[in-house]
Structure 1
Amino acid sequence: MLGWLYVCSVLCVLYPGSSGRSLEWFTALVRTEYIEPLTNTTVQGTTESGRYGDSSPKESVHGLVGFPRDPAHLEGCHPDTQYNVPGMSTEAMEGGDPWIALVARGGCTFKDKVVNAARRKASAVVIYNEAKSGNATVPMAHLGTGNTVVIMVGYPKGMDIMELLRRNIPVKMVITVGTRLVQEFISGQSVVFVAIAFITMMIISLAWLIFYYVQRFLYTGAKYGNQGNRKETKKAIGQLQLHKVKRGEKGIDIEAENCAVCIENYKPKDVVRILPCKHIFHRQCIDPWLLEHRTCPMCKLDVIKALGFWVEPDETLEIPVPESIAGSSLSVGTLSFAQEENRSEINNMPTSSTSDTLHQCNSAKEDAGETTALLGDPGSEDIPGEQIQNSGDPTSH
């Protein structure tokens, strides 16, 4: 996106208004000849000071030079402009003898000047530039002027010819095609502007890249910054009490009781973990949760701290779990086990579960990384005796 903006800005700078200009232009050789009355000598001069208009035929033309009769309207903008051609009568002008109109720039469009002069049978139009422009010439757009040759000359050249005409001295002019040049759209200011725009775009792009990688580094650090405490957390989870559910044991109805995380009923041989808050869950459901969040999903007890372990709180991510959701009414029996011969004390504590915890449990069951070493084989019959207490089984003591 930034690259396209840069390309567009460069094109706008390099080709401002280029749709109305040609890519090439031609100079015009202007040769003048007149007789100086004071010395009765012929004066000739040739300069490549003219420039053909964009729509002008690139042809040679010759004839006497004329100018507007009204000194206040030397631009030739009025449709009824009358021209004075020293050395040529009005009948000759209207009869088709070649003559060239000399008019000043400004007052109207180039097209209007050419059309008005062509209406007076002028075979060519010479427009001299403004005084502030000096010898410079500019491109001229004048579509619809037919076969009339149009050139522009600098202000000094135009005034030299105008002074002779005002003295009523006939001036012959020959216009020929000069050098073909390619239009130069790039100026010094344009180069500076393009350089500044390029540097600005590079600074913006560099700032964006720095911001992106800083954010990525912070995210990576937050994700893996608590790796040093995971061993302590796993060690603490490993000390939580385990119990294997058996059919028909007192205090738990496997047909009604279910895990608050996965919302599935307990089944015979399911291994459950008993938290310090006396809430129980499937070991496969609660262990991954505790490894990441440390708290009981139901009462939010910090299980790791309750066991006497300390983990920096700013290095762990805790996501609160809603205690209840409207329309959800599920209860889970909680068990309290004690190592007494042929006895188990069971306490039922109402809890609630959410649909969010179901997804967390299911995704945790698919984690085959760190939790595998922690959980072991959920269906194994060989669970360490110091972590499991069986209720209602006389042989468990």
Structure 2
Amino acid sequence: MPYHSVIVFPLSYWLASSAFVFWSALLEISYLDIQTNLTIKRYCECGVYGRNSPLEGASGRLMMPIQDPTGCGGLPIYSRNNSIPPWIALVKRGNCTFSEKINGAQAEGAAAIVVYNVEGTRNETMHMSHPDAPGMVAIMIGNGIGLEITKLVNMGIPIEMVIDLGNPHGPWVDTYWLYFLSVAFFIVTAASIGYFVFISAHRLVNLRMQRRSDDRLKKDAKKAIKQLVVRTVKRGDPETGLDAQTCAVCIESYKAGDVITVLTCGHIFHKACIEPWLLEKRTCPMCKCDILKALGVENEDEKNEVSNTYSYPPPDVTVITVSGGEPLYEVPLTGPQTPEPQEHQHRYVNDAFEEDAQDRRG
């Protein structure tokens, strides 16, 4: 007679149950095998205590109702001899409430009651509710196990049962739920830590790159500042006149003895005012002229980028320089023998040059 140690609960149980924790029951079933004359004992954690049942143990011989296996109806329900030791009622689910079954068995002196489930439920159980019968140990077992036991009882084989308190189960105390929650918590924690480490490392790398870039630009700015014109204002200079402009950084007028710096755009400032500004901004506060570009001061990365861009000139290119006092631009032209003229031809528009050519034609 096999007994299952795993209890299966249908979805309807979880939806209908208001209790989040239930207790399993440990069963020890022993009887005498009439063929071998040996005592057979079976153990399983295959019962569930009722919601209103005392969480206590019980023991005794199993007894079934006389007629109705559900244990419903008036007294007497069970046929027993007074010489029988403490006994446990074994009834089938159905026909009346759990409280009626429990009260009927308790009225006839049962030490506990075992309710087995109906057909078609295999070994599924439920957390039965019996608020009107809270004083006696009441458990439920599956239909498969219940039918095996009733078959032996109907054969006249005395069966002794010991009921003991098992383990708590439920969404928050069941072992599988604890494992699941532990693994989920570990995964979420590890993912959060990993994300935090990634973001922190990314920010550190960006900050380091930004600092290096700022350091290079400050070095270039220092080189550019050394090339700027610095002079001392003298009495009678235009900067000391009534219509002279003030320093755009400190908003103060220039006076004789002030040291000023002349930027590439022609704007002048106090030397002590403009140099800290140029180290950080590298542009004129008034017209935003970039002193690095104006003075031709470039960092190494820009030089490498420019050199790589123009390191491979197109082959067989004729360059014509159009000048009007100084070079204006260069126009590359392809020769008549270029095999792929569409790829190498470059058109540069010079409106002044075209207007001059039209005037000559006219």
For the criterion TM > 0.5, the same-fold answer is yes
Q: Distance in 1 between matches of 2:217 and 2:41?
A: 94
3-state DSSP of counterpart to 1:235: helix
Q: Distance in 2 between matches of 1:48 and 1:82?
A: 34
1:1-397 correspondence runs (5 A): 20-21=20-21, 26-30=25-29, 47-49=42-44, 51=47, 53=49, 55-60=53-58, 62=60, 65-67=63-65, 74=70, 85=77, 87=79, 100-104=89-93, 113-122=97-106, 123=110, 124-129=112-117, 140=127, 142=129, 144=131, 145-163=133-151, 175-178=161-164, 185-187=174-176, 191=179, 194-195=182-183, 198-199=186-187, 201-203=189-191, 205-228=193-216, 230-246=218-234, 249-253=237-241, 257-311=245-299
Q: Distance in 1 between matches of 2:271 and 2:182?
A: 66
Q: Distance in 1 between matches of 2:75 and 2:40?
A: 24
Check whether the contact 1:28–1:52 (CA below 8 A) recurs between aligned residues.
Answer: no
Shift of 1:260: 1.1
**TM-score, scaled relative to structure 1:** 0.51
Q: Distance in 2 between matches of 1:147 and 1:182?
A: 20
Q: Distance in 1 between matches of 2:62 and 2:183?
A: 51
3-state DSSP of counterpart to 1:210: helix
Q: Distance in 2 between matches of 1:253 and 1:67?
A: 124
Query: Residue type of the partner of 2:58?
Result: S
* 1:341-372 per-position Cα deviation (integer Å, ceiling 9, x unaligned): xxxxxxxxxxxxxxxxxxxxxxxxxxxxxxxx
Over the matched positions of the two proteins, sequence identity in percent amounts to: 25
* 1:99-127 per-position Cα deviation (integer Å, ceiling 9, x unaligned): 725123xx79xxx8431213435443212
Q: CA RMSD in A?
A: 4.9
Residues 1:141 and 1:225: Cα distance change in structure 2 (over 3 Å): farther
**TM-score, scaled relative to structure 2:** 0.55
Query: Residue type of the partner of 1:103?
Result: K
Mark the runs of 5 or more structure 1 residues left unpaired by the alignment: 1-16, 37-41, 316-397
Mark the runs of 5 or more structure 2 residues left unpaired by the alignment: 1-16, 304-362
Shift of 1:155: 3.6
Q: Distance in 2 between matches of 1:154 and 1:43?
A: 26
Q: Distance in 2 between matches of 1:204 and 1:176?
A: 50
Shift of 1:217: 0.7
Q: Distance in 2 between matches of 1:238 and 1:244?
A: 16
Q: Distance in 2 between matches of 1:296 and 1:150?
A: 91
Q: Distance in 2 between matches of 1:232 and 1:29?
A: 90
Q: Distance in 1 between matches of 2:97 and 2:159?
A: 19
